[in-house]
Chains A and B, each alone.
Chain A
Amino acid sequence: MTDPQTPILETRNICKAFGALKASQDISLDLRAGEIHALIGPNGAGKSTLIAQIAGGLKPDSGSVHLNGRDVTALPTAKRAQRGLGRTFQVSALAMEDTVLQNAVLGALGAQGRPFRLFQSALGNAGLRQVAEQALERVGLQDHARSRTAELSHGQRRQLEVAVALTLNPKAFVMDEPMAGLGASGSKALTGFLDSLREQAPILMVEHDMDAVFALADRISVLVYGQIIATGSVAEIRAHPEVRRAYLGEDA
């Protein structure tokens, strides 16, 4: 068994610059088993750049990314996914013309890792289908399995994003603004769901919705101008003078 204090996901001294703009400056953060770690910061702080480097879309100039104790810095997105990184996007990245079930089966197919079967039926494959249906049930989309993804509401697409990530049975989730565009009730429902998800795998999430962050996060890291200025519990971050000045505003 892994030591609960061993980070599942970790960045070590990541630096990334675009010309003169230092988007990531010596960023080290970790995600431990069973926790939700929220990454907050004002617009343009470099959150998306950091997430892209963790998920594999961008290569850091220096520093490394570790998943389950193994250095994955050199691996492309697909290989990191195979090693257990489940990711959801700020703007839903789904096969919109396909049905909800097909999207979930696609995730199961990725997890299984044998896509070059030309003659079998994808939806007729009991193994793939079971994984997909379980994931849909988990997020509460089982009744929409046969709907076209493009016909789903915004909130349902968010749920489907999570369901597809679930089919991978990931070791860690990386979620880019899961609450974005959700109304108050949708946001509340997803908060409840994510709360139960952390038992399965820890979640690193970028989020602007402070109610959700304060309700969910075990730890919060604050990113400002490419630097982590503070990491700590909700209470610590609320009380942190620099954070209050940079982000929350004096009266927070």
Chain B
Amino acid sequence: MTRETLINSALALALLLVPLWAYAMDEPFIITLATKVAILALAGVGLNIALGLGGLVSLGHAAFFGIGGYAMGILASHAQSYTAITDWPVLIEGTKSMPVIWLVALLASGLAALLIGALSLRTSGVYFIMITLAFGQMFYYFAISWAAYGGEDGLSIYVRNSFPGLNTLDPIQFFAITFVLLLAALLFSARLAKSPFGLALNAARQSPQRVETIGLSPYRLRLVAFVISGMITGLAGALFADLNRFVSPTMFSWQTSGEIMVFIILGGTARLFGPVAGAALFIILEHILGGLSEFWHIYLGLLLLLVVLFAKGGVIGTLAGREKAHD
């Protein structure tokens, strides 16, 4: 077992044991914090596929996070008001079922990623950053002006959506759902990195010229990566909305995109558990420093600066050292 695997296992175990301990101590707030970490880490795992493996610096992943959130909000709000979403050409009704909501969130964010990616991947570097940011902002202002679904105020859902066989209102049970989904995404991400697709995508990041010369199209590889990445972040958005029982345009804001990226940079870019370490650190800092000062982001900024200047591998990179070349 490499040192990184050891650190990863310890992180996963800690993320599981902390809420279990909180459950035993009857501290539901801590469980909610752990749930938040799991969900935000999931969003980061999504972005890490585009950013870490593909080298695609997307500043628009809030679009997918928000689409996931609104997929949940729209479906659940119709279900709770007993109104149909549309009755033409076919009747589509809302739902309170999590698996259905997840599926819709995955499909909707995947479709959006396909469209956004198809256009923005024709550019690169700073233009790519700007165009993804622009798409994110378009969704943000669209959500603000969409009065039917709360406009600026967003949508409140009174009761958390349901999952067969579980009581999702119980914090520890909802945590279990998010934890399992996070592990599944991590497992998928780990396999992806070692797959033929991961190899080609990673090479396209390092030398697009090489990838073309062996007969593959970097554009297509990146587009598929962008879609997968957007889908995972979209799923996280649906869970995040369910955690808060509330969805608002804030989920679409560029600050959200920035925060997801901050998780990755703090935790370690392209490291499997980077987003987990980063999201955990972010939430811990928010909890501790946020209690001291309203302006706790100053300290976050300082930390980010230190990481970028002195510890480029983030938390995981600093603890585990340089990534081992695959054998």
Interface residues of A (CB under 8 A from B): 55-56, 76-79, 81-82, 87, 89, 93-99, 101-103, 105-107, 109-111, 113-123, 125, 128, 146-148, 164-165, 167-168
Contacts and interface: CB of A to CB of B under 8 A. Distances in A.
B214 A98 contact: no
B215 interface: yes
B210 A113 contact: no
Given A95-B206, A99-B326, A119-B191, A111 B196 contact: no
A109 B214 CA distance: 8
A93 B212 CA distance: 11
Given A106-B200, A109-B214, A120 B209 contact: no
A81 B215 contact: yes
A131 to B, nearest CB: 12
B207 A94 contact: yes
B189 to A, nearest CB: 10
Nearest to B206: A95
10 contacts: A89-B213, A93-B213, A98-B203, A106-B210, A113-B216, A118-B228, A123-B327, A147-B325, A164-B214, A165-B213
Given A116-B224, A118-B195, A125-B196, 20 more contacts: A78-B212, A78-B215, A89-B213, A97-B202, A98-B206, A105-B199, A106-B210, A109-B196, A110-B216, A113-B215, A115-B216, A117-B195, A118-B192, A118-B197, A119-B192, A120-B195, A120-B196, A121-B195, A122-B194, A146-B327
Given A115-B196, A116-B224, A120-B195, A93 B215 contact: no
A123 B325 contact: no
Contact of B207 (A79, A95, A113, A120): A95
B216 A78 contact: yes
B212 A115 contact: no
A17 to B, nearest CB: 24
A106 B203 contact: yes
Contacts of A147: 325
Contacts, number: 121
Q: Which of B191, B215, B325 has the most CB of A within 10 A?
A: B215
Contacts of B215: 78-79, 81-82, 110-111, 113, 168
B195 A102 contact: no
B113 to A, nearest CB: 16
Contacts of B217: 76, 78
B234 interface: no
Nearest to B323: A97
Contacts of B203: 95, 98, 102-103, 106
Given A98-B202, A98-B206, A146-B325, A122 B214 contact: no
Contacts of A113: 215-216
Contacts of A107: 214
Nearest to B327: A146
B210 A93 contact: yes
B74 interface: no
Given A78-B215, A87-B213, A121-B195, A109 B207 contact: no
A132 to B, nearest CB: 11
B198 interface: yes
Contacts of B198: 118, 122
Q: Which of B194, B210, B327 has the most CB of A within 10 A?
A: B210
Contacts of B192: 118-119
Contacts of A56: 212
A99 B210 contact: no
A91 B212 CA distance: 16
A167 B224 CA distance: 25
Contacts of B197: 115-118
A192 B197 CA distance: 36
B221 interface: yes
Contact of B212 (A81, A96, A117, A148): A81
A95 B199 CA distance: 10
Interface in B205-250: 206-207, 209-217, 221, 224, 228
Contacts of B191: 118-119, 121
Given A95-B207, A106-B199, A118-B191, A111 B326 contact: no
A190 B130 CA distance: 46
A100 to B, nearest CB: 9
Nearest to A89: B209
B200 A115 contact: yes
Given A95-B202, A123-B194, A77 B213 contact: yes
A111 B213 CA distance: 10
Contact of A117 (B196, B210, B213, B325): B196
A147 B215 CA distance: 25
A89 B192 CA distance: 29
B210 A95 contact: yes
A167 B207 CA distance: 18
